[in-house]
Structure 1
């Protein structure tokens, strides 16, 4: 299974094209970062970078993998944000059963407007 932390490290190294600068940006040491990238390559059975004394550069496969890794990380961030909104009650669903009188007296429409104003991410289903 892919390790999101390793993917984040990979993206930063790819963007910086330098392990030292990437380590500084990630606030970690260069050696553990290099080990994490090597472990990712080993787990994938794929060489992501061409390495030289002064530079590290993505391979053709690395460029393809980078594009997909960025997309996956964006989705993971959206999923995390959704989980937090759900946890705070800002997003989700609500099923409401009602009687006809609730609509005619204006109680339910008023309550639904207030709910929508306070929690626009809540989806409401009405059943009578």
Structure 2
């Protein structure tokens, strides 16, 4: 049995769905499902197929490129990105001590950036005080 999720619709959308279900001679659930699946973009179809393939375990993870993976490129780990680490040092040495702002500038999560800065201070790569 498929999983069921609830969706909240505004009254105009709900009334339109009821009318469409009447026209199709079907229930609301089947009508909404059909309308959504009939109108997916090609990109959404690719990603949905990938998700289905992974769930069915028919595709080897190591040699399968998911549509979502190619659409959303993962960034390099901060600790393994020398350019980003050098940017942190530059911002820090120029007096920028707001870790959230540094994270935004280097395009990494705040928590990751803050933890990296703490490790760099502890290792002596950054000075904790403002000169």
TM-score by structure 1 length? 0.30
Which structure has more relative contact order (CA 8 Å, sep 6+)? It is 1
More strand per residue: 1
